[in-house]
Structure 1
Amino acid sequence: MDLVLFDVDGTLVDTRAIIVTAMEHAFAEAGIAAPPRPEILSVVGLSLPRAIEALTPGLPDAPIPTMVKSYQTRYRDERLAHPDHEPLFDGAVETIRALAARDDVVLGIATGKSRRGVTELLARYDLAALFTTIQTADDAPSKPHPQMVFNALAETGADADRTVLIGDSTYDMAMARAARIGAIGVEWGFHQRPALEAEGAHIVVGTFAALRAALAERFGWTSETTKTQAPRTRALEADA
C-alpha cells in the first residue's frame, strides 16, 4: 500500500480569511496589538499554541492558553456563520476521491488543526470515510516534529519509503524530511515555492492535476486501479 498524507489548511482548504479574523480577535481579547496579516499567515501549519508563541516572541508573559481559547471560539463562530470562509480548493474533492478509489492507496491526514476541526470539516464535505488515519495537533507534538507521521505509519502499517506528505508549508516539508518520507509541496497555500524547495520538497506542484501526476510518477503507478472493497476507515471522535 502507498500512504498519501495530506496537510489541511492551505493544502486542502483555503482558511486564510478565517484564520486572520480569529487570530486578530485573540490578540484583541488579550489587549495585544495583532501582527500584520502576512506574519499571521506565515505560522499556519504549527499547532495553535506554537503559532501564538511564534507571534509573541517579545511577550514572555502573553496569556497563550487564554488566547488559544479565544481563537478557537472565534474560529468556530466564524465557521458556523460563514461556512464559505473555509472552502476546499478547486480539485481537492476530485483528487481525494480518485486516490481513495485506488486499491493500492491509503489516505491520511497530518495537520496542525484540532481533531474537532478536522472532524467537522470532513463531515461537511462527506470525506471522512475516505481517510484511514487522521493525525492532528491533539495527537502529537507540533510540526515539524515527525510524530504525526510516525503515528500514521504505525496505524496503517505503511512503509516510510512508500509514503508521501503533501503540504503547503515549510513545516510540512521539514516534518516529512525528519520522518524520511516523500515530500510534495503545493504552491497555492501559505509558503512560496523557493521556501518549500529549500526545506526539502522533492517536487512542488501548482494544480491538483499536477499533484496526481507527481504521485503517479513517484510511486510508479501505471493504471487507474480501483478498489475491490470498501476502504478501511478510522472512527473520528470530536473533542469533548
Structure 2
Amino acid sequence: MSPALVLFDIDQTLLNTGGAGIKGLHNAFAEVFDLNQDEHPELDLAGATDLGLLRDFGFQRNIAVTDELTARFFDTYVGHLEHHLAASDDGRVLPGVVNLLETLSARPDEFIVGLLTGNIRRGAEAKLNHFGLSSFFNTNLGSYGDDHFDRNLLGPIAKQRVTGITGHAIADQRILVIGDTPKDIRCAHACNVRCLAVASGNFTAEQLAEHGADHVFEDLTNTAAVLELL
C-alpha cells in the first residue's frame, strides 16, 4: 500500500505565534501603503491566504496589486514577522503536535508529511524554524498562500508537488488535511480528500462539525486516534 499523505495547516493547528503573524501583517500594510493607525485593514486570518489578504486590500482601496508590489509587501512582512517572533514569549507549539510529528516522521514508508497553509512559503518557514518544527517538514511537499489567493485551489497544487517529488500519485482516500477552520474543511473537500478539524483555534468542535468536517478532535494529543484515520 502506498504511504498516506498528511497535509497540515500551521496557525492554530501546529502552533500559535502569540500574535506575531498579525502584527507582522499590520506592520507591512502600514509601511508599504503608508497607512495611519486608523487606516489599518481589518484582517480575518482564519483560513485566509496571505496573497488573498493583500489582493482584497488592493481591491478595497482600488490599488493595483502588481508582482512588484506583491514582492515588496511580502519582503516587508517577513522582516516584521521574524522580528515579532523573536521578540515575543507568547507563542507556543500546540499540545500533541511534537509527538504526532515525531511518530509520522519516524515511519516514512507509511506516511508523507506536508503542508497546506495560507501562509506564504517564507512565512511558513519562519514560523516552523522559530518553533523548532522545521526538521519535520520538507517544504517542497505542500502548497502555500503565495501559490494562489484562493485556498480551495491549494489542494491540487500540493497533490501535484507531492506526485512530482515522490514519483507517484497518492489516492485521494489516502490523503488527510489537518486544520482548524471551516476554510480548511472546504479546501480539503474541494480536492476530494478528508479533513480532520481540530478545535485548537477559534472554532469549537461543534462548529467544525456543522461545517462538514470528516473528523473532529479537540486537539492533537491523541496520536493513536490520528493514526487510525490514515
Scaled to the shorter chain, the TM-score interval is 0.7 to 0.9
Amino acid at match of 2:176: V
1:141 is matched with 148
> For 1:203, which of 182, 191, 215 is the aligned residue?
215
- Aligned counterparts, 1:97-136, within 5 A: 97-102=102-107, 103-132=109-138, 134-136=141-143
TM-score (normalised: structure 1):
0.73
Cα deviation, residue 152, structure 1: 4.5
Gap change, CA 1:152 and 1:166, over 3 Å in 2: farther
What's 2:84 paired with? 78
The reply to whether residue 4 of structure 1 matches residue 25 of structure 2 is no
Letter in 1 for 2:82: R
Residue 57 of structure 1 and its aligned partner are, at CA, apart by: 5.6
After superposition, the Cα gap between the structure-2 partners of 1:2 and 1:198, relative to the gap in structure 1 and judged at 3 Å, is same
Any idea what the Cα deviations from partners look like across 1:134-193, whole Å, max 9, x if unmatched? 324277324121233322541343221111010112222112101111101111124444
Moved more, 147-156 or 179-188: 147-156
Partner of 1:183: 195
User: What does residue 164 of structure 1 align with?
Assistant: 176
1:77-126 deviations in Å (ceiling 9; x for gaps) = 212333x3542112211111022223422211122223333334444455
Identity level (%):
24
Cα distance in 1 between the residues matched to 2:206 and 2:56 = 22
TM-score (structure 2 length as normaliser): 0.76
**Which amino acid in 2 is paired with 1:48?**
D
CA RMSD of aligned residues (A): 2.9
Aligned residue for 1:231?
Answer: none
SS at match of 1:97: helix
Alignment check: 8 A CA contact 1:43 1:54 kept: no
**1:67 Cα deviation from its structure 2 partner:** 4.5
Amino acid in the other structure paired with 2:152? P
Q: Say whether 1:58 aligns with 2:70.
A: no
Structure 1 gap segments, 5+ residues each: 220-240
Mean Cα deviation higher: 60-69 or 16-25 = 60-69
Kept in 1: contact 2:17–2:85 (CA 8 A): no
> Is contact 1:169-1:191 (8 Å) kept?
yes
Distance of 2:119 and 2:112 partners within structure 1:
21
Contact 1:79 1:85 in 2 (8 A): no
1:164/1:183 contact within 8 Å kept: yes
Q: Distance in 2 between matches of 1:160 and 1:193?
A: 24
- Kept in 2: contact 1:139–1:148 (CA 8 A): no
Task: Return the alpha-carbon distance in structure 2 between the equivalents of residues 4 and 72 of structure 1.
Answer: 26
85 and 147 in structure 1: CA distance in 2 versus 1, 3 angstrom threshold: farther
176-185 or 154-163, which moves further after superposition? 154-163
